[in-house]
Structure 1
Amino acid sequence: MSGPSSVCGPGEVTETADTVGSLARMLQVLELFSEAGPVWSTADLIEAMETSRSTGYRYIKTLHDAGLLTTVRNGYYTLGPRIIEMDLQIRQTDPLLLASHGVLDDLVENVGHSALLLTAFRDSVLCIGESRAPTSPENRFSRGQRRPMFQGAGSKVILAHLPHHRLKAIYPRHQDEIERTGLGATWGEFRKTLGEIKKDGYLLTRGEFNPGVYGVAAPILTDQKTAVGSVGVAWDENIRDINVDQAIRAVKQAATTISQRLAENQGRSTRAV
């Protein structure tokens, strides 16, 4: 008696592909919501989805039932309470956040300026942790905000420590932006620039997002020496009490501490299993 076949028939393959595509389109609805557009009507959501009304209504209902959307008035939606609940869970369980506990506050105390914790997200970086100083620059990078991977100290030190295969995938998608931001006009120049950042183990930048704002960052590394994030500080150029060499040393030590804690916590998790 033969067991069930692991090979799907043509109809099953098509159904699976359609299901995955449908799920992706439904989740893209969440990306429509922003600070500039926090509330969307049913009609506008369906129009933005470029789908049929019946499919659009089904997507909205599914997201609403899951708590990912909530109604603010009849026919109008905003992001839902389940996202807030998930954010709390991330704050309490995310390995990178747990490994950075207390480190950002110590960095602010040692350097006197705001500290940030970043991680890679798609072809960008996301701020996931922060500790603020009274002298924090205006328009500061904050938790939950995303920035390009090709500008700023915290972004570039992550980029420089990504695996080779990931850089090979990123380069053709962003070749023009890479050249425009001075990271190299060719693949060879791009790799050389990243190699120099990698060799130094940190990066200092000025004004790449906000005029006159300095930033210094160092990578948070795995055992394979690839980056899972970065930690850094930022200050306004008008502040004269900053000791740049001290800031660099403090940031590099903070990155080392978080990297070591990550490795130790992962080791404990493996032994527990």
Structure 2
Amino acid sequence: MNSLSRMLEVLNLFKPEQPVIDIEVICSQLGYTSASAYRYVKELSNAGLLVRLPRGYALGPRIIELDRHMTQFDPLLAASRDIVGDLIAQTHLELLISELYDSTVINILQRSGADEQALNFGRGRPMDLFRSATAKVILAYLLPRQLKRLFDNAAPGDLERIGLTWKDFSKAMLRIRKDGYCISEGELDPGKSGIAAPIFDEKGRILGSITLAGNSERFNAFNREFLSTLMIDAARKITSRIAG
């Protein structure tokens, strides 16, 4: 790990149960020397990514600035704004736009439908690649070597929903690619179901997914072919716009 990666690793220490960190936390949890920890927090603070508080360091205002910029100008969001509105108007289901980040999926957009109770995994909430249609439709389009590595490192509980053997796991991924979409029920939120389709970048690499989700009773009232066609078409339009 190079010096830049080590410095950025400091940002991964922030969690709901740990909103403020100090030099001692950095050294104990990352194994850095005090000199390195002080150097990294100084650089991150100068960049606005950290802010000094009496009890240590919190995330800085530059992150809010970047979040605003992403909300307004992110190419994926810009390519999907009108499509998002049309899908919600047609179905009244909740909609998510999600992106792949390392081995995690992050929801970068959440728009409410008719359900009063929103999804637990909304904007900014990470989810693993083995749960939900949102994540599994991305998982299915990773390169074979990536899939094998994820399979080998997965916990048995993660694989139960897909396939405990590499053969069964591979078949499940192939089925999603053949269908062009993925449906899940209750994998993240009890009583909620969702359908997702993949979004690709200009080189045909998996970039993220678009998802419609909602109360299972409402969701299951829709014809599955109608929903799948709706989502596949929407994802293809977004992909085409991103490719330019």
* Alignment TM-score > 0.5, same fold: yes
* Structure 1 position 78, deviation (Å): 0.6
Count of matched residue positions in the alignment of Structure 1 and Structure 2: 243
| Corresponding residue for residue 236 of structure 1 | 215
| Corresponding residue for residue 65 of structure 2 | 85
* Structure 1 position 114, deviation (Å): 0.7
Q: Structure 1's 238 and 190: CA in aligned 2 closer, same or farther, altered over 3 A?
A: closer
SS at 1:141 equivalent: coil
Unaligned 5+ runs, structure 1: 1-19, 266-273
SS at 2:2 equivalent: helix
SS at 1:27 equivalent: helix
Task: State percent identity of aligned pairs.
Answer: 33
**Of the two, which has the highest radius of gyration?**
1
| Corresponding residue for residue 164 of structure 2 | 185
Q: Structure 1's 110 and 120: CA in aligned 2 closer, same or farther, altered over 3 A?
A: same
* Structure 1 position 248, deviation (Å): 2.7
Counterpart among 135, 140, 152 of residue 160 in structure 1:
140
RMSD: 2.3
Q: Given the two structures, how large is their TM-score scaled by the length of structure 1? A: 0.80
Moved more, 132-141 or 154-163: 132-141
SS at 1:29 equivalent: helix
Kept in 1, the 8 Å contact 2:100–2:208? The answer is: yes
Counterpart among 9, 19, 32 of residue 38 in structure 1:
19
Kept in 2, the 8 Å contact 1:136–1:235? The answer is: no
Kept in 2, the 8 Å contact 1:163–1:226? The answer is: no
* Structure 1 position 204, deviation (Å): 1.4
Unaligned 5+ runs, structure 2: none
| Corresponding residue for residue 189 of structure 2 | 210
2:20 counterpart letter in structure 1: V
Q: Given the two structures, how large is their TM-score scaled by the length of structure 2? A: 0.89
- Deviations 1:228-269 (CA, angstroms, capped at 9, x unpaired): 111111111244784243333322221121112112x2xxxx
* Structure 1 position 110, deviation (Å): 0.8
Cα distance in 1 for residues equivalent to 2:155 and 2:38: 39
Counterpart among 235, 239, 242 of residue 259 in structure 1:
239
1:159 counterpart letter in structure 2: L
SS at 1:228 equivalent: strand
Q: 4+ residue stretches of structure 1 with deviation over 6 A? A: none
1:21 counterpart letter in structure 2: N
